[in-house]
Chain A
Amino acid sequence: MPHSVTPEAIPAVEQLIAKSEPGTQDMAMDDAPSAEVEDKAKVNLEDLFDDEDSDEEFASSAPVKSEEDASQPAATFKISDKSQYSDPDVMRAFYQRLFPFRFFFQWLNHSAVPSNDFAHREFAFTLSNDALQRYQSFPTADLLRKRCIADTPPRIDIGPVYSTNPRDRKTLRKASAFRPISRELVFDIDMDAYDDIRTCCTGANICQKCWAFITMSIKVVDVALRDDFGFKHVMWVYSGRRGAHAWVCDKRAREMDDSKRRAVYGYLELLKGGDQGGKKVNVWRPLHPHLERSLSILKEHFQTTILAEQDPWAEQNSAHLLNLIPDTKLREALQKKWDSSPGRPSASKWADIDSVAKSGALSKSSKELLEAKQDIVLEYTYPRLDADVGKKLNHLLKSPFVVHPATGRICVPIDPRRVEEFDPLSVPKVTELLVEIDEWSGEDSEKKIQDWEKTSLKPYIEYFRVFVAGLLKEEKEKGGIKRERDENGDVMEF
């Protein structure tokens, strides 16, 4: 089997073992090292070739491969569903035919003409042997595409834009000349954080019931970013398994320093304290308008998702609920009631709080009880953000539109206006998409139809296209005279 690894991949400069937390989507590598681990590199390369050799066992993938030039969709090989999602052949076909490089480029470049916004941007490739190549950068979308097709990375992360080209960082006289200068403000919501209140699934599994946690988080955070902070270009992306990322792409957001990022996170964070911290919500009254608004969004979800579906206080599990009730007299009355009828579901227990309080077992004011109940609603529904992803400028975050290696699903954008309709379990898998291309039976009219238009990925890429167009339009308007001159000529197409 010919080595489909391009020569530039072989002197792999920095191959690091991925050191992600189990389960988290993004690697904590804010000060992750850029060491050359030479002995490692050797081992990794061997692994890499092993992988290539093992291709043979996928009988369905015919050996015909168009190597570099994929603009001719001549390659016709069938992929069966059984192929591993990050199999190099699947990946190659994916990057050749489906990954929206053009819009991807425009998204990060903020203009149609190649600029440093794209050229100095760090990309990190996770290779099929789990080695991580950091500080990759590409002057144009085409070169990125070529490299993806050659290396077939199962995962691509996006880092910040640096002051100089990341590839040149070691040739600089002074280390301080290489520093991150901008990146999107990002958020990561992961199901991990909900493990203590999620009853339907555990670990990496999700179902529609627990996806509701992500749905309500998106609602709350999205409206705060837009109405409070005034950001306009917020893109939500499904992380491929059980979480979602937000990319705030406004120029104002991209240029924020770490302290401002921390401020945004501080504004949005509510739940404090570890498992031993007791009550996690401690807020002033009157509620801050942001919390007031969040509460009105979340109330409804509390009724459906928490009380009806998750049922967190069923059977003997009501201790935590009792702890959150500030009134000792009421707490004892409830404890007695629930002990005598252990089968009561959470919804009834929740209703019991008011009914028992009304029957006279309340020593504090009803206002205090209402506030305590509000706090409980917030504790169970308020977004739990993974703070470490977004507080630093130079953190890596998984790119949109890559394939999740374990589920095969594409990291597609989520339209926040229709977030309720989003179903993570119906997001297309890479293998399904490749089959769809092959089964497509429409005719090529005068306008050439892209491969992705033949698949169920189409609406997602359309959404991305419109999003990017909106971003570019604003950049152009704000760009002023200098940009205008560039635009006088024909817009360059990629």
Chain B
Amino acid sequence: MIRHDYSRVEPKRRANIDPKKRQFAKAEYAQQDYKHRLNFYTLPPTAEITLEEFETWAINRLKVLSELEACSFRNRSPEETAEYMTSILNKYLPLRANTSRGTNLQEERKRDHYSHFILRLAFSSTEELRRRFSHLETILFRLRFREDDPRERQGFVRSLDLEWEEVGDDEKRELRDQMLAAIGSKREEEQDWFKVDWERVPELVSQRKVLLKRGMAYVPAKEQTSLVVAEFTKRLDEQLELTARALPRLDEDDRLAPILAHLSQSFTAPEAAYSSSDANIDGLSAINSGAIDTLSQNFPLCMQNLHMTLRANSHLKHYGRLQYTLFLKGIGLSLEECIIFWRRSFKLMTDDKFHKEYKYNIRHAYGDVGGDSNRRGRGYTPYSCQKILTEPLPGPGQAHGCPYRAFNVENLTGLLQRVGIQDREVLQGVKEDVKKQRYHVACNRVFEFAHKKEIKKVKDEGTWSATDLDTIVHPNTYFKRSWLLKHLGDGNAGVVSGDKMEE
């Protein structure tokens, strides 16, 4: 069915030992010789290391990966990420080129190798963890690949033995114009081209950056990175799948298991940025469907936009409803009230149609119906900015997503003015943020402007700590903070208690 050709270790490289003695036998290639800085992590390590090394190496790599994840959440460009990561990589996971004068190249590479495999063990248990691990390892690999010495990189790529067919001269002449148009290049520079099955470069296909002909993608040599990285991810995904299946058979005592469990736990999911405590806001009594109109003043722009669209059209399309429903759930609207809210909002619709076609989805979002796991998990979690920003852009007639990202500048400015942001300077700042694709910065800018007075007050009085005023990365955090700030005098201390806001 599915073949794992790549994932098999070559028979002659396998540790050929009598299974009965395996535990005590010496592997034939205990110490690997690392010729290249980069590593596809095909061969598992076999040498012995101490428990302490096991843990520290893994933790160091984990630190690097978490920083990388933070970079991708903050929407940093590859260059900014590279710059930011340099010092962190040097500290926790140095990996120098052959040409460098470093004396312990082998030791560095060994750590890189071993820590990768330890984390692989720790993060193979669930689909979610595997996906994130593979995503982050891919970013790390790409980062290192870009920075590698060109000659060494070439040597490394050659050693991988990937099957790429070079485009012959005749074909090159025939297709040159099309190939150049496909990569968006106007210059007529000579370069080498590879021909591969398009499935091997889905990234380039998806962005329409290569020429496709009869199922083959014509990839310019400079896109080699993309090919190698895709191959890296593909192999890693396969290997993780295999690791996951082998994991239950890891007949382990209590030395490694706790370390592994601990490692995967400390790698908390970004979705946890929403904590259920966000729904319990001091001083805000149980919300009912009638209160939404008033509360919508405290909503972030994405939700205000949905609310206004809903009021204007008495309807929202599927993804708009989903995004809004989850947000409302997140601010503490109960299922019953939520159904009432939608029923009243869809003024032009018959009861019959509503019950038939809409009610189920609301209940599903709350986990009231649906499969076992849905009900146990109480439906979906409210969407974070990260989630909203990485979803595809809304299509015609749709109003979901992040307005900072989906709207053009004129319409965005118009919308901001409608919700009361008139200040020239702020609008200009938003414009620049948006141009740099820093949508959450724009959103936080608007928040700070709209709550300028209150923020100053809590800062002066010292009632809120710096973490309470950290960058907002979740629409529900936006609401909670906004509501608390606007109700400072209403008998609540305005302390954001208990909830940890992670980035």
A-to-B contact residues, CB < 8 Å: 16-22, 28, 31-35, 37, 130, 181, 192-193, 195-196, 227-231, 252, 256, 259-260, 262-267, 271-280, 284-292, 384, 387
Contact = CB atoms under 8 A, between A and B. Distances in A.
A19 B357 contact: yes
Given A273-B406, A277-B393, A278-B408, 5 more contacts: A19-B357, A32-B364, A262-B206, A263-B206, A271-B395
B401 interface: yes
Nearest to B398: A274
B293 interface: no
A385 to B, nearest CB: 9
Interface string B128-167: 0000000000000000000000000000000000000000
A21 B406 CA distance: 23
B401 A274 contact: yes
Nearest to B203: A263
Nearest to B400: A274
A290 B399 contact: no
B360 A19 contact: yes
A21 B357 contact: yes
B78 interface: no
A20 B393 contact: no
A35 B205 contact: no
B182 A289 contact: yes
13 contacts: A28-B318, A31-B374, A192-B397, A228-B212, A229-B198, A274-B394, A274-B395, A276-B415, A278-B407, A278-B411, A286-B181, A286-B184, A387-B395
B396 A263 contact: no
Contacts of B214: 227-228, 230
Contact of B317 (A16, A21, A287, A288): A21
B395 A193 contact: yes
A286 B397 contact: no
Nearest to B180: A286
Nearest to A229: B215
A22 to B, nearest CB: 6
A252 B317 CA distance: 34
A227 B408 CA distance: 35
The prevalent SS among residues of A at the interface is loop
Contact of A21 (B215, B318, B370): B318
Most chain B CB inside 10 Å of its own CB: which residue of A33, A259, A284: A33
A260 B203 CA distance: 9
Interface string B177-204: 0101110101000000000001100110
A256 B180 CA distance: 28
Given A22-B357, A229-B215, A277 B184 contact: no
Contacts of B375: 35
Contacts of B202: 259-260, 262-263
Contact of B205 (A231, A252, A263): A263
Nearest to B403: A276
Given A181-B1, A276-B411, A252 B215 contact: yes
Interface in B369-417: 369-372, 374-375, 392-399, 401, 403, 406-408, 410-412, 415
A280 B375 CA distance: 39
Given A196-B397, A230-B214, A286-B184, A274 B406 contact: yes
A69 B500 CA distance: 67
B318 A35 contact: no
B215 A195 contact: no
A28 B396 CA distance: 18
B451 interface: no
B353 A22 contact: yes
B357 A33 contact: no
B424 interface: no
B408 A277 contact: yes
B397 A274 contact: yes
B4 interface: no
Nearest to A385: B395
Nearest to A323: B410
B294 interface: no
Contacts of B397: 192-193, 195-196, 274-275
A277 B406 contact: yes
A328 to B, nearest CB: 13
B415 A290 contact: no
A287 B371 CA distance: 46
Closest 8 CB pairs of A and B: A230-B215, A33-B370, A266-B206, A278-B408, A263-B202, A274-B394, A228-B212, A263-B206
A195 B397 CA distance: 9
Contact of B407 (A17, A35, A276, A290): A276
B13 interface: no
A18 B357 CA distance: 7
Contacts of B318: 21, 28
A313 B318 CA distance: 29
B406 A387 contact: no
A230 B180 CA distance: 20
B206 A286 contact: no
B361 A19 contact: yes
A289 B406 CA distance: 27
Nearest to A40: B369
Contacts of A229: 198, 212, 215
Contact of A272 (B184, B215, B371, B393): B393
Contacts of B395: 193, 271, 274, 384, 387
B216 interface: yes
